[in-house]
Amino acid sequence: MKSRSIIIFFIAYLLTVQNICRASVNDYVSEPRAIKTFKYSDLCEPTQQIIEEVFDECSSVGCIAIDDMPAFYNSYEEFIEYSHMITNFSPSRKTQKLENREYFHEGFAKVKEETREAYNLVYKKVVDTAAPVGSKIFSLLMHHIKQKENLSTKVKKLMISARPFHYFSLEHNNLDWIGTHRDLGVFTLMCPEVFYKAQRKIEKPENSGAYIKEVQAEPPSNSVLFLVGTAMELFTNGNVIAPEHCIKRAPTNDSECHSLSLFYKLKTDTILHCDNPAVIEKYREYFEHGMTYARWENISLARNDRKKIEHSVG
């Protein structure tokens, strides 16, 4: 009888320890969750509930997905086809470590003049269609934040630069096409990734492409991703956060990926202010009180370059 009681006690003890361990793990490991998707039509004429949901997502995970933009998708599909045509290099050429811009410049030089003109036209059309999407979301967020907090940084106008991306697995041996980072601007609009294999479009390979670490998830297929940048986290006093993300390399050596990102920045002479001690501490290696946006960008880029060199040496 005594031995039976000891056994029962021991089993109860093990179950208790197991539950404590499980609780401890759950306390410190965030559960993966889907990135919330909004229809663009709902963002154009948003209800108060939509505005609050957009803010909640940007303040907790730093990003939202947007879909239901037929005009954008039509021009974007054509843009991707031209991008793939321009960057159609041989496998041996792809083994050489060139910057993304260098591949595009080289590809531009080898195609016919009419192809370059067609590419430029559709490129402009895509940017003109996508740019208002980001501006609309930014306006919603800023209006909501200013209702509850007086911001010191005066944002008069946003500058936009668009950049096409072409990734391929032969480029180098790093695990990710682009390593873990936060975007340094106000925000980024990341267009859908399109994958190719043997010159044909394919479904996105598993465990590849954009990956948001805050939610441990990839963006929904065919959606445009709005990502908060570090500058916006600063001048909103941490009301929104800049998420860590990376671009995961495709698992096979013959897969390629095309995409386009729009980077929204402040005017270079804009003075950055932040009154939140926790945010200032978070970016203490970058931020100086009263610095211009140009200086913020230069310091951030220089630090990122140092990290790349340290990573390659290591």
Q: Where along the chain do its domains lie? A: 32-270
CATH architecture for residues 32-270: Sandwich (2.60)
Of 64-68, 184-188, 196-200, 259-263, minimum mean pLDDT range: 196-200
Q: What is the pLDDT of residue 169?
A: 64
Which is nearest to 274 in space by CA: 232, 228, 235? 235
Band of residue 6 on the pLDDT scale cut at 50, 70, 90: very low
Please give the share of the chain, as a percent, with pLDDT higher than 70: 78
Find out whether 65 and 221 touch, Cβ atoms under 8 Å.
no
Q: How far is 245 from 248, CA to CA, in rounded Å? A: 9
Summarised one tens digit per residue, pLDDT across range 91-112 is 666 666 556 666 677 777 777 8
Q: How far is 287 from 191, CA to CA, in rounded Å? A: 29
Find out whether 251 and 291 touch, Cβ atoms under 8 Å.
no
Q: How far is 167 from 249, CA to CA, in rounded Å? A: 8
